[in-house]
Amino acid sequence: MTHRALQAVDAIATALAARAELGASVFKHRTLSLSDADQELPAVCVRMGEDAATNRTLESFESQLDVFVALYATATTEEALAEALMELRAQSHIAVMANQTLGLSFVSQVIYGGAGEPDVSTEGGRIAGLLETTWIVDYEMNVTDPS
C-alpha cells in the first residue's frame, strides 16, 4: 500500500484534474521538464514538501505534510500573465478546498498555507510565469504502518 503522504498528494492532484474550470494539465512530481514548446502550458504541478510529525500517541503519529502546487502560465503581456496565474490560483483553491479531508479517512483537514511571489520569465519570446501555493495536510498514521 502507498504511504499516506503520497495518497494525500495523489488526492490533491486528482481534485485539480477533475476541475474543468482549471483549464490546465495536472502533473505530479514534475517541474523541471515542463515545456511551453511542447504545448504543456498552462500546467499545474503537485509535489510533496516537508512532512513534520506534530504529535505521537502509543498507536499513531499526527503529521503535517506540505504540498506545493505550482501554477504555470504564458501570455503576451505581463498583465495578462498576472490574470492567468491568479485564475489558476483561484481555480486550484476551489478544487483543493472542495473537500477539506480530500476524501481520505486519515486526513483531518487541508489548510491553505499561502502563495509565493510570481516568477516571470521572457525567455523564448513569450512571457511565462510560475506561482507556487502551499497546502498543509494534517493527517494521522499508525506507528507501525504508514500506509
What is the mean pLDDT of each successive set of 10 residues along the chain, which is 147 residues long?
A: 93 96 90 61 93 86 96 92 96 96 97 95 82 97 84
pTM above 0.85, yes or no: yes
Q: What SS3 class is residue 86?
A: helix
Consecutive H or E run containing 58:
none
pLDDT at 68: 97
Q: Give the residue among 53, 31, 49, 50 at the shortest CA–CA distance from 41.
A: 31
pLDDT at 39: 64
